[in-house]
Amino acid sequence: MYDTIAAIATAPGEAGIGIVRISGNKAIEIADKVFKGKRIEKLSEAEERKLIYGYIIDPEDGKKIDEVLAVYMRGPYTYTREDVVEINCHGGIIPVRRILEVILKNGARLAEPGEFTKRAFLNGRIDLAQAEAVMDLISAKTDTSFDVSLNQLEGSLSKEVSKVREILLKMLAHVEASIDFPEHDIEEVTYDNLQNEGKEVLSRIEKLLSTADTGKILREGLKTVILGKPNVGKSSLMNAILRENRAIVTDVPGTTRDIIEEYVNIRGIPLKIIDTAGIRDTDDIVERIGVERAKELVQRADLVFVVFDISHDLSDEDIKIAELIKDKKVIVITNKIDLPKKVSKEKIKELLPDKPIIETSIVEGVGLDLLEETLKNMFFSGDITIKDRAIVTNVRHKDLLIKAKKNIEDALNSLQMGIPIDCIEVDIKDCWENLGQITGDTVTDDIIDRIFEDFCIGK
């Protein structure tokens, strides 16, 4: 039996409503100490799952702390599967803090980060993949990433992983039968069954892994660096994408010296967009630092928007920039097409072959729709159908799937080589256990603790 925990469940700051949550076997006992209803003296006397109007008071002196609505929910039909009390008070830092303090003084312990969700997992209400989806849902930056997280919370990934583990269990049963009953001469049949089932396991794992890059983008945002020499329109591009004047735009080269970062949603893709200092040789120490930081960011970027001013001839700086990004995912933006053209599209293609080129006049808003469409097609290859689809958004899940894939590949290779069947059992079991770590069926306590450390307190 766990002790009783409490925490503020709403974000800090001013709001219409703030919520303090209590969970545990003493939740209603503590609530009865601090809550006094207008018509019903104690919350325990009220109808379950019904908001009751009253006050939170300090039992030591009877002083009212705030006017509230409180609700009692008896386990196991709650988020944590424990008794839960939620107190809805006035939003703001002071009311919720004072209510939490009086609850802690009367028998509750301050919840650790993610402890409510951790209890939901430990009490069997959700599995580990669903628990991790809770934080993804909270931090979703686009409608698409929200839908993916909601699907995972509802068990889309867990169901697919469970199907694969069921096949692996069947494989282990075949192995055990062959080992336990060698006199029945079933080894040849067992090898055929294992190969067919192993190929199905491999196919399902590869299908899940194929979604991981898309999932990472949806979860974390696409790290996108805007690159180019000074005065080609980098800051203007950032402002156009953000639809606000976030970066300073002037005709003076070197205006942008530091790195500017913002999140933006483009066609359902969350971008962490980074405007960098113009790449050029300079004697200005501050600007030179900005240039070096821009080059470092390019190496870590998922995508580069490289901007060229085609109203001027290509310079040595342009050529150096092209060399810097030749092995990256790049969208080339040829800007200032409203001015007399000095550089042809063919010349840019020679400089960066096989990279999509978008002709723009950023100041006039020309080409931005095509840029957004090109970005979408590069990473989604058409529209994503989220409904009922399992998408891998978590790095931990991806790593475990990679390990499981290696396990089943080793097992299949061993089968082809005719290695004794009891040796193959190890790889099949390792595959089963690695997949079990995704849902929490075979996970260790230290991994569970590490996962929930990243949660916010109160969830």
In the annotated binding site, the residues are 21, 86, 125, 231-236, 250-256, 275-278, 459
**How many CB atoms are located within 10 Å of the residue 239 CB?**
18
In the annotated binding site for Mg(2+), the residues are 235, 256
| Token couple for 73 | 């929910």
Q: Which residue in 213, 329, 232 sits closest to 275, CA to CA?
A: 232
Q: What are phi and psi of 45, to 5 degrees?
A: -85, -10
Strand order in the sheet with 222-227: 260-266, 269-275, 222-227, 303-309, 330-335, 357-359
Give whole-number Cα distances, 440 to 131, 351, 453, in Å. Answer: 10, 50, 16
For residue 73, give the 3-state DSSP assignment: strand
d(CA 434, CA 143): 31
d(CA 404, CA 159): 16
For residue 147, which amino acid is it? Answer: D
| Token couple for 396 | 């931990």
For residue 137, which amino acid is it? Answer: L
How are beta strands 260-266 and 269-275 bridged, if at all? antiparallel
- Please report which helix (H) or strand (E) contains residue 37, including its range: strand 35-37
In the annotated binding site for GTP, the residues are 231-236, 250-256, 275-278
Burial class (CB in 10 A: 0-12, 13-18, 19+), 50: exposed
In the annotated binding site for K(+), the residues are 231, 250, 252, 255
